[in-house]
A and B are shown apart, each in its own frame.
Chain A
Amino acid sequence: MRIGHFKETYVSDQAVFATATSRFWLGILFALLLLFPFVAGDYLLFMANLAGITIIGAVGLNILTGFAGQISLGHAAFIGVGGYTAAILATRFNLPFLICLPLSGLMAAFFGIIVGGPSLRLKGLYLCIATLAAQLILEFVFVHWESVTGGIRGINLSPPEICGYVLDNDFKYYFLTLAMVILCVTAARNLFRTRVGRAFIAIRDRDISAELMGINLLRYKLYAFAVSSFMAGLSGCLWVNFLKTVTPEHFPLMESVRYLAMIIVGGMGSILGSIFGAIFMTIVPEAISTVLGLLVNTFPTAMSFLFPLQQVIFGLLIVIFLVFEPHGLAEIWRRIKNYFHLWPFEH
């Protein structure tokens, strides 16, 4: 329970974690995240890495679609650009990982800006189709530009090395992923405390009045594309280095759709929502298949229809969530927090 928190300066009023309670819980969360790899098994570590890498991608897409209102169906392709850039720089030019990482982001941002160009004239579904074209074109390039991308066989990498320290297992990689997630989430949250983030939201809510208030629409839409695909690029680089291979089948259109579903389930226009959405979409399918796996052990004859059921259950879960809470998991979380504000009293 926390009651009566008084703020005396504008600095404390505008702090992200304004109360001692929230800072306390943040500390606990941070400690748990650091402890996690020491107690988790291989499988859980693998999933945690995957979830972290997905969070970075989802935060990126949420900045573009959830905050700035520009729907993109090309997010997986931007992740792909980052991934391929990382793989090519590492294998052909032998660049160290810490240089590959930002360069992958920058390369993806470059492509993002090109794809974002038409966004001044195209809105909503029309922009959606334009980004779909980008997705398909880039997918085509990944498959057919064999001399560079290695075609459908892709490129294999050796494990990344940071200052002589080789990240050759999921345990070591976890700390890299965690650091990058914290970095990206903090940067995204910061952005929305400044005029740049406010301009994104203004463009989403009312672009005409935003322009009359002094916002250069094209510049800020391109900013949104750049930041979004920069994070996609980082996510791609981390993913490729994690799997130690890159092939075109990692970045299909369905992956773009999956990212959109993530931010919708998590909460559009919410950084926390992107985190929830990414974790939900990574963990839940696995959880379902684990449960179904157990069922198969007990009822071996049911196997033929239990496995296809996975997708059905997952789809149903998403629909149910959206019907009951259209603002996503972030909103559910907010309600839970509000409930505990005054707990154990009712009013």
Chain B
Amino acid sequence: MPKILSIDGVSLAFGGLEVLSDISFDVNEGEIFAIIGPNGAGKTSTLNIINGFYRPKKGKVFFQGTDITHLQADKRAALGLGRTFQNIALYHGMSVLDNIKLGAHSHLKTGLISGLWYWGAAHKEEMALRKEIEKDIIDFLEIESIRNQSVSTLAYGLQKRVELARALAMRPKVLLMDEPVAGMNAEETEDMARFILDIKEERNITIVLIEHDMKMIMDISDRVLVLNFGYKLTQGSPREVQKHPDVIKAYLGQKKG
């Protein structure tokens, strides 16, 4: 399988605090790639580097073969890097529908003037967008009943789902998901896992996933990367990683003596 995303020798530091040290890995097209590790291992920082929210001190990021290390975050989104957040980052002043529409921002053309005028091109574009969102996203994620609600009134699990909807509206090639099932109950977790698998299989979107729910990770991911204190511990299939002595040590500690 061809590589879609490559991280090459990336290091990141906040002042004197080394967050990531010389991390390298490749993500293959169409796979679910999981990043795990104890708290503070640098998982979210890795996603933020890929997104362009942080700039690495050293190293490079490649997306579909091109170097995007110095590309602005909003341009990376337009290239096809979708994102969901650990602490839900929806826009509380907008309805569910508008939140989802916002995801499609880079694919729309309406400018300032045509927006003020609205009738004509902008109207047509908005209606086409609405149709697409209804068909491909709202229907798929089963959120028809809440589309006109304000996001701030929604339950936690639903907010996570709306965030996924917004990320799908970005028409991503790679979807970066930061703890998609954190804080969910078993049923909500199962739903989310099913959505993630469907996204991968039906839409051929590559998924990079951070999660602490080991059962889910082991069930759905194709490959797993383990980070600890900013270092790459190991990488491999879920089964290999599970048995790796360093991983057990990082999670459970070590007997003295």
Contacts and interface: CB of A to CB of B under 8 A. Distances in A.
B126 A202 contact: no
Nearest to A205: B91
Contact of B93 (A205, A208, A227): A205
Interface residues of B, number: 42
Given A201-B93, A214-B106, A193 B118 contact: yes
Interface of A: 10-11, 13-14, 187-188, 190-191, 193-199, 201-202, 204-206, 208-217, 223, 226-227, 269
Contacts of A210: 91, 102
B117 A214 contact: no
Contact of B89 (A201, A208, A217): A208
Contact of B105 (A187, A206, A213): A213
Given A14-B130, A227-B112, A198 B94 contact: yes
Given A194-B126, A201-B91, A205-B93, A215 B110 contact: no
Nearest to B176: A212
Interface stretch (B10-18, B70-78, B248-256): B70-78
29 contacts: A10-B131, A187-B116, A190-B119, A191-B112, A193-B118, A194-B110, A194-B114, A194-B115, A194-B118, A195-B101, A195-B108, A198-B105, A201-B94, A202-B102, A205-B94, A208-B53, A209-B85, A209-B89, A209-B91, A210-B102, A212-B52, A212-B73, A213-B103, A213-B105, A213-B166, A213-B170, A214-B78, A217-B74, A226-B112
B51 interface: yes
B127 interface: yes
B118 A216 contact: no
B134 interface: yes
Contacts of A196: 110-112, 115
Contact of B91 (A193, A202, A223, A227): A202
Interface of B: 51-53, 72-74, 77-78, 83, 85, 89-94, 98, 101-106, 108, 110-112, 114-119, 122, 125-127, 130-131, 134, 166, 170
A14 B90 CA distance: 21
Interface of B is mostly: helix
Contacts of B122: 190, 193-194
B47 to A, nearest CB: 10
Contact of B102 (A204, A213, A227): A213
A193 B119 CA distance: 11
Contacts of A194: 108, 110, 114-115, 118, 122, 125-126
A12 to B, nearest CB: 11
A210 B93 CA distance: 13
